[in-house]
Structure 1
């Protein structure tokens, strides 16, 4: 079978689960199969937003992040379920365990997608045969559908897996790029968000082909260093390796200060925490990262240290979020004595391009508070057109080099430290 593999290049698969949360629920309860199904919060109160939905629901126009009331209007027979993140984590771990049976080079990108380098797995069969075995194994053992892209690099594998859903297997070679990728609209390219697409269209780049043949100097002027990288991707160039340890990277950004005098006043100490949170948030913004955990260090006048840390349900990055979390930790750890030093550290940092907020029930409640506003926006759009108002969250300049970017993704911190082989 070695003849089916390149002598010098790589063979990389991108395995992308189809409508993951909804599919897991259908696997758990087969009676849900074939029905329009959505995962959302505050089911009893009909509040919140859609996290993901089945393909049957999508036929009615139901979409991810859509307000629940709007989804029910489009599909009155929509079955709505609250999320079960423990169930999804378990299914994800089982998925990656299966992938590691085919190659030790498996890189989880999010809970529901990952890359597999099968270059040295030729003894198992041809690339298409391995992809078929993976798809069959995941379906038979987990009762979950997936789409798989086969390509010589990560970018092309990701693009390939998006071409046929659900349950598709697509081979995308470099020689296929002019016929398959180049005619596509620029926003359909992985790594290009709405705002970047607008910038490119402003200079006459409408399709991926236009980008592939674009002027490098002009692209750099418009997009900075990303312009060169995007042009390389449009031409099928991507030298990134499949890194099994990518989910185990631990990084941190912290800031501490020795106080000019020992302070025991809670209000003053919280003000200092706020200042430290601002400094940490500023550095995080420069490095384009979110934090999955946070730590607070307290040194008392007797020079004894007390540190407390916690993992976060959702990634955070703003000053207000960092301050709120660090304040909670501080009040739990502080014994009331005078403090000599305070420190705030954001840990387990994840690049903005690969972070996707885990929508828990608390998040749904916050989103539900916006429901009257969402209704007003919906009415305005219906009257004056869809472009009359845009959500600031939609104006992301970047979908992300490793965006978990699917509608069913959340952070992969639960995969850290896991070994599947």
Structure 2
């Protein structure tokens, strides 16, 4: 366990923690670890969860055995196959991963009600002494880590006075790491680390900082707030404060039925779409997937986003506000089609296409009319049809009712299993 000692409990000889204690639990190579747990003969072997190279698949997670060959998340499958030809590939079973994730999160909730899950395999938690327990935060983290290990998977935990320190600490000794950054040692811990170690600093910001001669978080912490704001806008001073370990962050307890900020779906196509009819059909096909998820969750949004990728690296998005909140693909899908000319022209190749809906709590104007327009009548019929097809799919399965726009993409999308695109 990594420790940065400052305080000692003179009564029992154990280190004493004074002040906020925020942890970050990160499940190690989570998807691949679950697969190795459920397939004992895969243990100790390189395992890759992702889609095949024949359908432009990407790596979702690689076991540590595969990582030794240079394989990592988001890597194109064809590249991973070259690096580790002996790897065992599986498309993944996300219901199983969610089941295991829920169990791990329950371990955290046994220790504190302040648990903020940020992804299927990561969560912040508050174990500040005296808030819900007088126990040493490191002892609590060790107990959680042991309980996770009993499941047959592992996790790494970082604990420190704030979220930034906890997140960076969790990445220091993976896998099975437990790194504690004790109050008063934050700056010493952060100073030698590269600026890229801090979340929120992407490649462009890192390059800009390095152009200024700033390569470590210690150097960044000495940048004046005036210069930081001039170079990076309003986010600059906060970036400097975080680099100095001075962030003050709170862990928000998740609401029982937390509302996401957005719901979206995207698909990568085995072969590029070029034909205008096919691109438009893809927009409506993916809108239909989003619409059903919205209705299942009881959400209606007022902002629609269209995302296109033309190749592995290049893409654009367009966004528009709707007159009122909706969960109907006939409405937000139509708006997505209107956005299409902003970021695509006939003849351009489309590798990936996504549609998202957000603005679930946005205010909307109230307009009263005496008569329905023709479009409103069509939308009302589409809403009734959507409700009927949702009911049939819920009872007989997703393939029980399908539109032509869906059938035309059978076997033409990447077999990388998409995670639910819900952002909180």
Query: What is the rounded CA distance, in whole Å, between the counterparts of 2:262 and 2:86 in structure 1?
Result: 47
Extract unaligned runs of 5+ from structure 2.
1-8, 264-283, 288-301, 308-316, 341-352, 359-371, 381-408
Query: What is the rounded CA distance, in whole Å, between the counterparts of 1:159 and 1:282 in structure 2?
Result: 32
Question: Conserved in 2, the CA contact under 8 Å of 1:109 and 1:412?
Answer: no
CA shift for structure 1 position 179 = 3.5
Structure 2 equivalent of residue 16 of structure 1: 26
Can you list the C-alpha shifts for 1:172-211, whole angstroms capped at 9, x where unaligned?
1353334432112211222211111011112221111111
Structure 2 equivalent of residue 260 of structure 1: none
Are 2:141 and 1:131 aligned? yes
Question: Conserved in 1, the CA contact under 8 Å of 2:304 and 2:355?
Answer: no
Q: What TM-score do the two structures reach when normalised by structure 1? A: 0.62
Query: What is the rounded CA distance, in whole Å, between the counterparts of 2:223 and 2:306 in structure 1?
Result: 34
Tell me: higher relative CO, structure 1 or 2? Use CA pairs within 8 A at least 6 residues apart: 1
Specify the SS of the correspondent of 1:52. strand
Question: Conserved in 2, the CA contact under 8 Å of 1:14 and 1:148?
Answer: yes
Can you list the C-alpha shifts for 1:252-281, whole angstroms capped at 9, x where unaligned?
89xxxxxxxxxxxxxxxx9xx9xxxxx945
Query: What is the rounded CA distance, in whole Å, between the counterparts of 2:410 and 2:26 in structure 1?
Result: 25
Structure 2 equivalent of residue 33 of structure 1: 43
Structure 2 equivalent of residue 165 of structure 1: 174
Q: What TM-score do the two structures reach when normalised by structure 2? A: 0.61
Are 2:284 and 1:248 aligned? no
Question: Conserved in 1, the CA contact under 8 Å of 2:46 and 2:65?
Answer: yes
Specify the SS of the correspondent of 2:117. strand
Question: Conserved in 2, the CA contact under 8 Å of 1:148 and 1:170?
Answer: yes
CA shift for structure 1 position 324 = 9.3
Distance 1:409 1:169, change over 3 A: farther
Query: What is the rounded CA distance, in whole Å, between the counterparts of 2:225 and 2:357 in structure 1?
Result: 44
Extract unaligned runs of 5+ from structure 1.
254-269, 274-278, 285-289, 299-305, 327-335, 344-361, 370-407, 417-421
Query: What is the rounded CA distance, in whole Å, between the counterparts of 2:37 and 2:197 in structure 1?
Result: 30
Distance 1:86 1:171, change over 3 A: same
Distance 1:363 1:118, change over 3 A: farther
Distance 1:84 1:124, change over 3 A: farther
Structure 1 equivalent of residue 374 of structure 2: 338
CA shift for structure 1 position 249 = 3.7
Question: Conserved in 2, the CA contact under 8 Å of 1:11 and 1:151?
Answer: yes
Question: Conserved in 2, the CA contact under 8 Å of 1:42 and 1:365?
Answer: no
Specify the SS of the correspondent of 2:184. helix
Query: What is the rounded CA distance, in whole Å, between the counterparts of 2:221 and 2:213 in structure 1?
Result: 13
Distance 1:6 1:307, change over 3 A: closer
Aligned length: 305
Specify which of 181, 184, 193 is matched with residue 193 of structure 2.
184
Structure 2 equivalent of residue 207 of structure 1: 216
Specify the SS of the correspondent of 1:173. coil
Structure 2 equivalent of residue 400 of structure 1: none
Distance 1:134 1:363, change over 3 A: farther
CA shift for structure 1 position 135 = 0.5
Alpha carbon RMSD of aligned pairs, Å? 4.4
Specify the SS of the correspondent of 2:196. helix
